[in-house]
Amino acid sequence: QKEVEQDPGPLSVPEGAIVSLNCTYSNSAFQYFMWYRQYSRKGPELLMYTYSSGNKEDGRFTAQVDKSSKYISLFIRDSQPSDSATYLCAMSYGQNFVFGPGTRLSVLP
């Protein structure tokens, strides 16, 4: 079993749709949970982070963590074509930092 699993997609949605991206993990030691966005041929940029179970909202983005189920999600409301990118979940504890494989998202105008 991989330490972090994520559906690779591709995921295509119409503009304005609500997008749900998910990751599961197996190591209960993970303390910090992050979502990165990576445009084609660019480095990843940090979108959101959280360290506790529950929801965290930032504009159109909501990060959700359920530590009991070892499950994290990123919701994007009112999706825009500019949201088209690969979204990678990541989690860490101490010096250990693990990325999920990423989900490719396309928002169609």
Partner 1 sequence: GAVVSQHPSWVICKSGTSVKIECRSLDFQATTMFWYRQFPKQSLMLMATSNEGSKATYEQGVEKDKFLINHASLTLSTLTVTSAHPEDSSFYICSARDPLGVSYEQYFGPGTRLTVT
- Binding residues (CB under 8 A) for partner 1: these are 8, 31-32, 34, 36, 41-46, 49, 51, 88, 92, 95, 97, 99-102, 104
**DSSP assignment, residue 82?**
G
Closest approach of partner 1 to the CB of residue 23, in Å: 11
| Nearer of residues 51 and 71 to partner 1, judged by Cβ | 51
59 versus 78: smaller Cβ distance to partner 1: 59
36, 46 contact by CB (below 8 A): yes
Instruction: Pick the closer one to partner 1 by CB: 62 or 92.
Output: 92
State the minimum distance, in angstroms, from the CB of residue 57 to partner 1.
19
Query: Which of residues 4 and 19 has its CB atom nearest to partner 1 in the complex?
Result: 4
